[in-house]
Structure 1
Amino acid sequence: MSAVTPPPSDAPTPMSAGHLIVRQLEAEGVRRVYTVPGESFLDVLDGLYDSPVHTVVCRQEGGAGFAALAEARLTHRPGIAMVTRGPGAANAMISIHTAYQDATALVLFMGLIPTEQRGREAFQEFDPHAWFGSTAKKVLILDHPDSAARIVSDALHTAASGRPGPVIVGLPEDTLLELTSSPPVPPRPLASPSPAPHEVAALEDAVASAARPLLVVGGQGWTPAAATSLSAWASARGVGIVADFRAHDAIDHAQDVFLGPLGYSSFAGTREAMADADLQILVGCVRGDIMTGSYAFGTSPDRTIVAVPDPDAHGHFGPLDQLIVATPETLATALGTGPGAAQVPATGTSVTGQTSGTGTSAAWYRPYRDRYQEWRTGVVGAERSDEFLDRDRAYRDAADVLPRDVVVTYGAGNYSAWALRYWPLQGPGSVAAPRNGAMGMGTPAAVAAKLAQPDRPVIGLAGDGCFMMNGQEFATAVDQGLNITVIVDDNSVFGTIVGHQVREYPGRPSGTSVTNPDFAALADSYGGRGFSVTRTEDFVPMLQEAMAYEGPALLHIRTDPEVRLPRT
Structure 2
Amino acid sequence: MPRAADVLIDSLKIQDVDRVFCVPGESYLGAIDALYDAPEIDIVRVRHEGGGGFMAVADAKYTGRTGVEFVSRGPGATNASIGVHVAQQDAVPIVLFVGQVARGDIGRGAFQEVNYVKTFSDMAKLVIEIRDPDKLAGSVQQAFYTANAGTPGPVVVSLPEDMLLEETQVGAKPASREVMSKPNAGEISELCRRLANAEKPIIIAGGQVGFEEGREALRSVAEIWGLPVAVAWRRQDIFDHSHPNFACHLAFNSPPVYRETLNEADLVVAIGTRLGDVTTQGYQIPTAPKPRQPLIHVYPDDVCLGAIFETELAIQADATETLQAVAGTNAPELPAGRLEWIKKVHSLSADRMKWDWKSADDGVVFGNVISHLVDKLEDDAVTAMDAGNFATWVQRLFPYKTSHVQMASAAGAMGMGVPSAVASSLRNPERQVVCFVGDGGFLMTGNEMIAAVERNLPIRFIVSNNSSYGTIRLYQERNHPDRSIATDLTNPDFAAVAEAYGIRGFKIERDEEIKPVIDEAFKVDGPSLVEVKTSLEYISAFTTISQIRG
The answer to whether 1:177 aligns with 2:165 is yes
SS at structure 1 position matched to 2:247: strand
What is the CA distance between 1:264 and its match in structure 2? 1.2
The answer to whether 1:443 aligns with 2:418 is yes
Do 1:227 and 1:252's aligned partners in 2 also have CA atoms closer than 8 Å?
A: no
The aligned counterpart of 1:369 is 346
The aligned counterpart of 1:469 is 444
What is the CA distance between 1:180 and its match in structure 2? 1.6
1:317 maps to a residue whose letter is I
Alpha-carbon distance in 2 for matches of 1:542, 1:184: 53
Structure 2 CA distance for partners of 1:308 and 1:226, relative to 1, 3 Å: same
What is the CA distance between 1:267 and its match in structure 2? 4.8
What is the CA distance between 1:402 and its match in structure 2? 1.6
Q: State the TM-score, normalized to the length of structure 1.
A: 0.91
Structure 2 CA distance for partners of 1:544 and 1:314, relative to 1, 3 Å: farther
Structure 2 CA distance for partners of 1:63 and 1:207, relative to 1, 3 Å: same
Q: Which moved more, 1:171-180 or 1:555-564?
A: 555-564
For 1:12-91, what aligned pairs fall within 5 Å after superposition? 14-51=1-38, 52-91=40-79
The aligned counterpart of 1:543 is 518
Structure 2 CA distance for partners of 1:76 and 1:316, relative to 1, 3 Å: farther
The aligned counterpart of 1:293 is 281
What is the CA distance between 1:554 and its match in structure 2? 1.0
Alpha-carbon distance in 2 for matches of 1:94, 1:108: 11
The aligned counterpart of 1:511 is 486
Do 1:249 and 1:430's aligned partners in 2 also have CA atoms closer than 8 Å?
A: yes
The aligned counterpart of 1:335 is 326
Give per-residue Cα distances to partners, 1:3-27, cap 9 Å, x unaligned: xxxxxxxxxxx21111211111111
Alpha-carbon distance in 2 for matches of 1:374, 1:24: 52
What is the CA distance between 1:288 and its match in structure 2? 2.6
Do 1:433 and 1:441's aligned partners in 2 also have CA atoms closer than 8 Å?
A: yes
2:432 maps to a residue whose letter is P
The answer to whether 1:219 aligns with 2:207 is yes
Do 2:209 and 2:238's aligned partners in 1 also have CA atoms closer than 8 Å?
A: no
Do 2:363 and 2:536's aligned partners in 1 also have CA atoms closer than 8 Å?
A: no
What is the CA distance between 1:392 and its match in structure 2? 1.9
1:119 maps to a residue whose letter is G
SS at structure 1 position matched to 2:530: strand
The answer to whether 1:232 aligns with 2:257 is no
For 1:264-283, what aligned pairs fall within 5 Å after superposition? 264-283=252-271
Do 2:366 and 2:535's aligned partners in 1 also have CA atoms closer than 8 Å?
A: no
Alpha-carbon distance in 2 for matches of 1:402, 1:429: 10
1:452 aligned to which of 419, 427, 431 = 427
SS at structure 2 position matched to 1:143: coil
Do 2:383 and 2:406's aligned partners in 1 also have CA atoms closer than 8 Å?
A: yes
The answer to whether 1:141 aligns with 2:117 is no
What is the CA distance between 1:428 and its match in structure 2? 6.4
What is the CA distance between 1:269 and its match in structure 2? 4.7
The aligned counterpart of 2:546 is none
Alpha-carbon distance in 2 for matches of 1:391, 1:222: 30
The aligned counterpart of 2:359 is 383
SS at structure 1 position matched to 2:526: coil
2:299 aligned to which of 297, 305, 308 = 308
Q: Which moved more, 1:427-436 or 1:151-160?
A: 427-436
The aligned counterpart of 1:318 is 309
Do 1:75 and 1:429's aligned partners in 2 also have CA atoms closer than 8 Å?
A: no
Structure 2 CA distance for partners of 1:120 and 1:222, relative to 1, 3 Å: same
The aligned counterpart of 2:547 is none
What do you get for the CA RMSD once the two structures are aligned?
A: 1.8
Do 1:443 and 1:474's aligned partners in 2 also have CA atoms closer than 8 Å?
A: yes
Give per-residue Cα distances to partners, 1:31-86, cap 9 Å, x unaligned: 21111111111111112123101110111000000000011112211111111110
The answer to whether 1:565 aligns with 2:540 is yes
Give per-residue Cα distances to partners, 1:179-217, cap 9 Å, x unaligned: 123222111023111111111111101100111111101
Q: Which runs of 4+ in 1 moved over 4 A?
A: 356-359
Structure 2 CA distance for partners of 1:101 and 1:210, relative to 1, 3 Å: same
Structure 2 CA distance for partners of 1:536 and 1:262, relative to 1, 3 Å: same
What is the CA distance between 1:302 and its match in structure 2? 2.1
Alpha-carbon distance in 2 for matches of 1:67, 1:314: 30
Structure 2 CA distance for partners of 1:538 and 1:316, relative to 1, 3 Å: farther
The aligned counterpart of 1:195 is 183
For 1:405-420, what aligned pairs fall within 5 Å after superposition? 405-420=380-395
SS at structure 2 position matched to 1:365: helix
Alpha-carbon distance in 1 for matches of 2:260, 2:517: 37
Give per-residue Cα distances to partners, 1:123-142, cap 9 Å, x unaligned: 00010010001111000111
Do 2:464 and 2:532's aligned partners in 1 also have CA atoms closer than 8 Å?
A: yes
Do 1:286 and 1:316's aligned partners in 2 also have CA atoms closer than 8 Å?
A: no
Alpha-carbon distance in 1 for matches of 2:3, 2:337: 63
Overall identity of the aligned pairs, in %: 35
Give per-residue Cα distances to partners, 1:91-141, cap 9 Å, x unaligned: 111111111122111111110001000111100001001000111100011
Q: Which moved more, 1:522-531 or 1:221-230?
A: 221-230
SS at structure 2 position matched to 1:489: strand
Do 1:275 and 1:298's aligned partners in 2 also have CA atoms closer than 8 Å?
A: yes
Structure 2 CA distance for partners of 1:505 and 1:272, relative to 1, 3 Å: closer
For the pair shown, the structure with the greater C-alpha radius of gyration is 1
Do 2:248 and 2:345's aligned partners in 1 also have CA atoms closer than 8 Å?
A: no
Alpha-carbon distance in 2 for matches of 1:267, 1:562: 18
Q: Which moved more, 1:303-312 or 1:283-292?
A: 283-292
1:434 aligned to which of 391, 404, 409 = 409
What is the CA distance between 1:221 and its match in structure 2? 4.8
The aligned counterpart of 2:81 is 93
Alpha-carbon distance in 1 for matches of 2:243, 2:473: 36
Alpha-carbon distance in 2 for matches of 1:184, 1:22: 9
Alpha-carbon distance in 2 for matches of 1:388, 1:510: 21
Alpha-carbon distance in 1 for matches of 2:537, 2:253: 16
* Length, aligned pairs only: 539
The aligned counterpart of 2:473 is 498
Alpha-carbon distance in 2 for matches of 1:264, 1:66: 21
What is the CA distance between 1:363 and its match in structure 2? 4.9
Do 1:33 and 1:54's aligned partners in 2 also have CA atoms closer than 8 Å?
A: yes
Q: Which runs of 5+ in 2 are unaligned?
A: 544-550
The aligned counterpart of 2:548 is none
